[in-house]
Amino acid sequence: MTEDLQRRIAYALYLENWSFENGSRAGLLKDAETVEPSDYSKDMKGHLFCPRCFTNLSRVPHDKDHSTSSMEAHFKHLPTYRHIGCMLRSTQGSGKKYSSIESVSQAIDNEELVIINSFMQDKPEQRVVGGARPFDEAQIEDVDGPESEVPLGQHDGQTFKVPSKITSLRGICRNFDKNYYRYYFLPGNQHAIALTMLLNDARKVTEEDDKPKLYFVKLQKSTHHGNPPGPTNIRMTFLEKSPHVIDFCIKTQHRLQNDHGIGDDTEGRYALVYSSVTSNGIGLCFKNLGWGEIALIPEKYNYLIEDVYNAAHS
């Protein structure tokens, strides 16, 4: 991905009565509203913070009424905080390293860093709290995993033993804006990398790949192959793909994609998939997906994924 993308600040955190010097990061992440450059109003001045380093941001141009057509509105860091490192400010590598077990633990507690042990393979039991609730509300999206030894120290070979999560892409997609700049340590990786930099473009895939990776995809036509249609019949959902690939699809039992809202009506929507790439006839596919390895991105976050999507193509 491009450095331009890395530096672009897609949204700011807006919270009044919070400050970088005295505020709690967990509180900011929990309570702040996310604001795109185009949502800015003048009364937000002084209350906008970077989603990654949490220092103050300003919006350029400052005065909404005087935006010029020659410049697209955007957020920028303040020079005052130049000494605070931020991947959205500099061209520094996107891998995050930690100086001590305390700093890793704190990053996990603050939800700035997520250690993923694995993705859920089976659909979790639904929580039943106070009677019937909408499916979306009740779904368990991650559970505690075992303690994991992670190579996140600043010195070669230095590892830390920290708690991990067995998680789901559904959980990541639900609060996609908050998670977008969080650092994730994925199974088999050597670095904690911001989610925005972990997303691979399925349109760039031209061959099989044994190593599971995190992909973003744009859905096309989806077909249920069953007569009569049943939950265990195959559903194939085709994806936007490289011109060098005949076709590329998500191939699972109907019920898995159906559980995640993917089906006949999702053409044009975006989804995340964690998978290897295998052949499918003369094309490619994602298959053998666990329950947590696929999720539809809520449409309200299209502005974020389209940022990545458009940048990846330019």
Residues of this chain that bind Zn ion (CB under 5 A): 50, 52-53, 86, 88
Which of 2/92 has CB closer to Zn ion? 92
Shortest Å distance, C-beta 85 to Zn ion: 8
Shortest Å distance, C-beta 40 to Zn ion: 17
Which of 53/101 has CB closer to Zn ion? 53
Which of 54/119 has CB closer to Zn ion? 54
Shortest Å distance, C-beta 192 to Zn ion: 17
Which of 50/173 has CB closer to Zn ion? 50
Which of 56/302 has CB closer to Zn ion? 56
Asked whether the CA dihedral 292, 51, 95, 312 is positive or negative, the reply is positive
Shortest Å distance, C-beta 290 to Zn ion: 34
Shortest Å distance, C-beta 29 to Zn ion: 14
Shortest Å distance, C-beta 2 to Zn ion: 18
Which of 50/198 has CB closer to Zn ion? 50
Shortest Å distance, C-beta 207 to Zn ion: 37
Which of 52/241 has CB closer to Zn ion? 52
Cβ contacts of 313 within 8 Å, gap of 6 or more: 201, 203
